[in-house]
């Protein structure tokens, strides 16, 4: 089965950056990896503090390092816990 996906500019830029930095050989691989992470996480995204996740990604990019699945999982768990805390 083939599915065509249209990404908004910000998402497309992330994919393009990942490919240009050599993390993935092509856009399809980058998107597939992202979908795999989502599937593995099996999160209720309504509980996720999206700005916290965006900061986590920006910090990882600034450090020039790639996050492992375990690191992503730990950071997402912390973001979810932070989102659940009473404000």
Q: In the numeric block, which tokens belong to residue 9?
A: 């500019």
User: What Rg value do the Cα atoms of the chain yield, rounded?
Assistant: 14
pTM for this prediction: 0.47
pLDDT of residue 86 exceeding 70, the answer is no
Q: In the numeric block, which tokens belong to residue 32?
A: 């597939």
Q: Could you tell me which residues come within 8 angstroms of residue 19 by beta carbon, excluding any fewer than 6 positions away?
A: 25, 26, 27, 30
Residues 25 and 32: beta-carbon distance below 8 Å: no
Residues 79 and 48: beta-carbon distance below 8 Å: yes
Q: pLDDT (tens digit, 9 = 90+) per residue, 27-76? A: 888 888 888 877 776 666 676 677 777 777 777 777 766 666 677 777 77
């Amino acid at each position: 089965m083939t599915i065509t996906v249209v990404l908004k500019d910000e998402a497309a830029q992330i994919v393009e950056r990942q490919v240009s930095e050599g993390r993935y050989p092509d856009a399809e691989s980058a998107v597939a990896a992202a979908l795999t992470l989502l599937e593995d996480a099996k999160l209720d995204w309504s509980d996720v503090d999206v700005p916290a996740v965006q900061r986590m990604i920006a910090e990882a990019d600034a450090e020039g390092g790639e996050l492992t699945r375990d690191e992503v999982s730990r950071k997402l768990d912390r973001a979810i816990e932070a989102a659940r805390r009473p404000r």
